[in-house]
Amino acid sequence: MNKSELIKAVAEKGGLSMKAAKEVVNTFFDAHIEAILRDERIEIRGFGSFVNKCYDAYVGRNPKTGEKIEVPEKKLPFFKVGKELKVRVDS
């Protein structure tokens, strides 16, 4: 399922126009992206939580050439699945 399929499903199930469903779905993910960019933790009960993790710089290698490369420190958003969804996915 991609974003346009999600929009279509939300429009059908919620009795919304495609335009309204698109606005809602975009607002939903934009809110997530903005919170992540603010380094803010997101917690959605029954779904999961997002938190940014910091990784130190390290010296890596280009696996093709074997060349050494400096990988600078970076942040990555990390998702932890919520209890309800964890159980549903595994059943």
Tell me the sheet residues that pair with 44.
Answer: 48
Least CB distance from residue 64 to another protein, whole Å?
Answer: 19
**How far is the C-alpha of 79 from the C-alpha of 25, rounded, in Å?**
19
Question: Shortest distance, CB of residue 83 to another protein, whole angstroms?
Answer: 12
Degrees (nearest 5) of the Cα angle 48, 50, 56?
Answer: 140
51 near another protein (CB under 8 A): no
Q: Is 58 in the site for another protein (CB under 8 A)?
A: no
Nearer to another protein (CB atom), residue 1 or residue 66: 1
